[in-house]
Amino acid sequence: MTDGSAARWNDNIHYHRRILDAVPPNARTALDVGTGNGLLAADLHRRIPQVTAIDTNASVLESARHEDQGVTWIHGDVKTHPFREAQYDVVASVATLHHLPDLDGAFARLAALTAPGGVVAVVGLARSSRPLDYALDVAGAVQHRRLARRFGLWEHSAPVVWPPPHTYAEVRRSAAHILPGSTWSRLAMWRYAVIWRKPV
């Protein structure tokens, strides 16, 4: 867990560390895509001076504003909002890409918003389709129960899409195609991570 989420735990907060560990040491700007309740944006702001967070849901964004008044909160759609391209040293997203049916388009948009030398860092949800996926689902269920008992489960108020429209295999293929050289990790607790450093 991170300092900003120390009093709260859920599967998404658990993997904030994946995002924070990918932040370049000289990062000055970050964008949190699909910020939801704003916890990742607040965690990023503890490391990065200028953080912008965007979400399509006005009510959940209103709760996010209370997390950190120093973050720039935007009610809008990342696909259509008039961001300047190559603007951010970090473009991050947790549990958002499965809300977007065009996976290739989503990865391409995140890449376009990332400055040369910057990082796209995604933790997402996908659907199991292979034996290894199902085995990790079982291990993840055990881990989830153990951690939820230890920390308590904090329920977010952001909209939920379940089951995810894309399989893990589809996400991995899309990331490899759109973000060549990206690293892929299949995580427990029904998550994956994609980290990509944009060439200078």
Per-residue model confidence as pLDDT tens digits over 148-185:
777 776 676 566 667 888 999 999 999 999 999 999 99
**pLDDT one-digit tens code per residue, 63-73:** 899 999 999 99
| CA quadruple 81, 124, 8, 155: dihedral sign | positive
Domain residue limits, the chain = 3-127+158-197
End-to-end CA gap in the chain: 31
Please give the share of the chain, as a percent, with pLDDT higher than 70. Answer: 92
Q: Selecting from 3.40.50.150, 3.40.1280.10, 3.40.50.170, 3.40.50.300, what CATH number does the domain 3-127+158-197 have?
A: 3.40.50.150
Q: What is the mean pLDDT of the chain?
A: 90
pLDDT over 50 at 134, yes or no: yes
Among 3-17, 18-32, 76-90, whose mean pLDDT is lowest?
Answer: 3-17
Rounded Cα gap, residues 156 and 180, in angstroms: 33
Is the bond preceding residue 163 a cis peptide, omega within 30 degrees?
A: yes
pLDDT value of residue 2: 41
Closest CA to 14 of 191, 181, 168: 191
